[in-house]
Amino acid sequence: MSVETPVPLQVFPAVDTKPEAEELELGTKVADDGPSYTPEEERRVRVKQDIFMLPILCFMNICAFLDKANIGNANTAGMSKDLGFSTSQYNALLTIFYVVYTAFQWEMVLLRYINPRYFLTGVVFLWGLASTLQGITVNYGGMVACRVVVAALESGGGPAIAFYFTMLYPRKEFGLRWAIFQASSCIANAFAGAAAYGLVQANTSIAPWRLVYLVESTPTFLAAVLIFFMVPSGPDQCWFLNDREKQIALERVQRSQSLEAATGYNMKHVKAAFMEPWTYWIALIHFFGGAAFNSLSVFLTAIIRDMGYTSVNAQGLSAPPYIVAYIFACTVAYLSDRWSVRGWFIAGAELIGGIGYLVISYAESTGVRYFATYITVIGVYVGQPLMFSWCATNADSHSKRAASLVLFLVTGQLGSILGSNIYNDPPRYHKGNSVCAGGLFAVVALCISGTFYLKMRNRAKDRKYGPADPNAVIVPTEDGSDHPAWRFVI
């Protein structure tokens, strides 16, 4: 049935009031006269959310990448030599991390049951502790144990933020915020390279590779404290908003997505997500993109070193490409949100990245090859956040979104496992670079064909139901089928 105004629903756990979603007939749309807030009021809420939340979450992501990828810098600084690891043992450490990280991707669904602030605080603090312990490890078994714990806990941190962001921001704003968050890993990689450059030259009694772990894991504990005291559990629980602004924050999300009960999942919607062709399409895109994205963060320093630079200089030279890539990633994401386009931007970025890989591998000039690292990092780090956005914003219920994100994340990590095992033919790394280039070219083809596929789906719904009503507040269908007012982001 229809009512004149949207029912104010709580879409987060940790709620005091009982959700009223059951009072609305499933599969309907609640039409009204438009938002209850002015554009200026909406702008104030959005700016406050960005100022108070994004920096903390980005800092968390920087810490996650430092703790995940610092093994590359530690190895360049002498870890394998000091502990007697063979090349195959080192590659096994990388593979083990991604296998465990893949197996625990489901942790993000706990955000519908556990207060996000407590959940994120716990996993961040514990993975920081495990990462620190890598700096005092004396054998291969100890290093394996630390990497397993870090992987299991990090898989419930960063990936959960994609789901968390869909609970905080409308679809039209997700892309830029997610890009700012995920591309902050560029800053992490730049910092890791610069920090490792300094730590390798430090004149201390502690081995440089141990310093890399001990120093680069320390900020993670600060991130856990900031999350506990500063990160809200939902749009209407933001401590920095007044009562009116909290209501606006909640309504913004409801208007962009759908009215749903506060906690738990609808298994019919989960099943519908796995019956949706796009779920597998975007997952395959992430598989190929993930192979390049994650291997790049681990192997870029080694790639630069084997161009003929010293290990110390390679650490420093690996930082600038990431800084430039961060600027490009945020700029392109802004344009993607503004025009509501994902596929074409991803295709263009990954085409550039694939070309960069081939230049790194086959060009003769060292200067040209190093310049190609900029092209490669820009392409990969522009495309990756937009893949997440394309997946997270193309589901019309939290249950569908959670299911599609889990598959998306798992396949991406399977790509990471592939990427961690193909860089074993120095100094040119023909195999690794060629496989990553081929994967990115596959992404280009999938994005172009996927864009036309989603356009076809949207046009079919337009012909059947008429143009979508921009003021419709959607109540998800009971059986999980797409709501008539829902349209895909292309």
Q: Quick one: pLDDT band at residue 6, thresholds 50, 70, 90?
A: very low
pLDDT 10s digits, 287-342: 999 999 988 877 898 899 999 998 778 878 888 998 899 899 999 999 999 998 99
For residues 483 and 476, the answer to whether their CB atoms sit within 8 Å is yes
CA atoms of 415 and 285, how far apart (whole Å): 10
Tokens of 61: 């992501």
Q: Quick one: pLDDT band at residue 1, thresholds 50, 70, 90?
A: very low
pLDDT 10s digits, 97-130: 888 988 898 888 888 888 889 999 999 999 999 9
For residues 400 and 273, the answer to whether their CB atoms sit within 8 Å is yes
pLDDT 10s digits, 63-101: 988 888 788 888 888 899 999 999 889 988 988 888 898
pLDDT 10s digits, 333-359: 999 999 989 999 999 999 999 999 999
pLDDT 10s digits, 412-457: 989 988 987 899 889 999 999 999 999 999 999 999 999 999 999 9
Tokens of 145: 């144990």
Q: Quick one: pLDDT band at residue 228, thresholds 50, 70, 90?
A: very high
Question: How confident is the model at residue 128, as a pLDDT?
Answer: 94
- Please state at what angle helix 184-201 crosses helix 366-392, rounded to 10 degrees: 140
Mean pLDDT on 255-277? 77
Plot region of 466 (φ>0 → left; ψ -120 to 50 → alpha; else → beta): left
Q: Quick one: pLDDT band at residue 258, thresholds 50, 70, 90?
A: low
| Residue 245, φ and ψ in degrees, nearest 5 | -70, -35
Q: Quick one: pLDDT band at residue 264, thresholds 50, 70, 90?
A: low
CA atoms of 374 and 323, how far apart (whole Å): 10
Percent of the chain surpassing pLDDT 90 = 50
Question: How confident is the model at residue 262, as a pLDDT?
Answer: 53
Question: How confident is the model at residue 120, as a pLDDT?
Answer: 93
Look at residues 133, 147, 30, 64 and name the one whose alpha carbon lies nearest to residue 100: 147
Q: Is the pLDDT of residue 267 over 90?
A: no
Question: Whole-number mean pLDDT of the chain?
Answer: 86
Q: Quick one: pLDDT band at residue 233, thresholds 50, 70, 90?
A: confident
CA atoms of 258 and 483, how far apart (whole Å): 10
Mean pLDDT on 138-150? 94
Look at residues 449, 339, 336 and name the one whose alpha carbon lies nearest to residue 383: 336
Q: Quick one: pLDDT band at residue 259, thresholds 50, 70, 90?
A: low
Q: Is the pLDDT of residue 38 over 90?
A: yes
Q: Quick one: pLDDT band at residue 368, thresholds 50, 70, 90?
A: very high
**Please, what are the domains in the chain?**
36-474 (1.20.1250.20)
Mean pLDDT on 49-61? 93
Question: How confident is the model at residue 243, as a pLDDT?
Answer: 94
Question: How confident is the model at residue 21, as a pLDDT?
Answer: 41
pTM for the full predicted model: 0.80
Question: How confident is the model at residue 460, as a pLDDT?
Answer: 94
Look at residues 373, 319, 292 and name the one whose alpha carbon lies nearest to residue 189: 319
CA atoms of 43 and 255, how far apart (whole Å): 16
| Residue 278, φ and ψ in degrees, nearest 5 | -65, -30
Tokens of 332: 């392109």
Q: Quick one: pLDDT band at residue 29, thresholds 50, 70, 90?
A: low
- Mapping DSSP onto H, E and C, the string for the chain reads CCCCCCCCCCCCCCCCCCCCHHHCCCCCEECCCCCCCCHHHHHHHHHHHHHHHHHHHHHHHHHHHHHHHHHHHHHHCCHHHHHCCCHHHHHHHHHHHHHHHHHCHHHHHHHHCCCHHHHHHHHHHHHHHHHHHHHHCCCHHHHHHHHHHHHHHHCCCHHHHHHHHHCCCCHHHHHHHHHHHHCHHHHHHHHHHHHHHHHHHCCCCCCHHHHHHHHHHHHHHHHHHHHHHHCCCCHHHCCCCCHHHHHHHHHHHHHHCCCCCCCCCCHHHHHHHHHCHHHHHHHHHHHHHHHHHHHHHHHHHHHHHCCCCCHHHHHHHCHHHHHHHHHHHHHHHHHHHHHCCCHHHHHHHHHHHHHHHHHHHHCCCHHHHHHHHHHHHHHHHHHHHHHHHHHHCCCCCHHHHHHHHHHHHHHHHHHHHHHCCCCCCCCCCHHHHHHHHHHHHHHHHHHHHHHHHHHHHHHHHHHHHCCCCCCCEECCCCCCCCCCCCCCCC
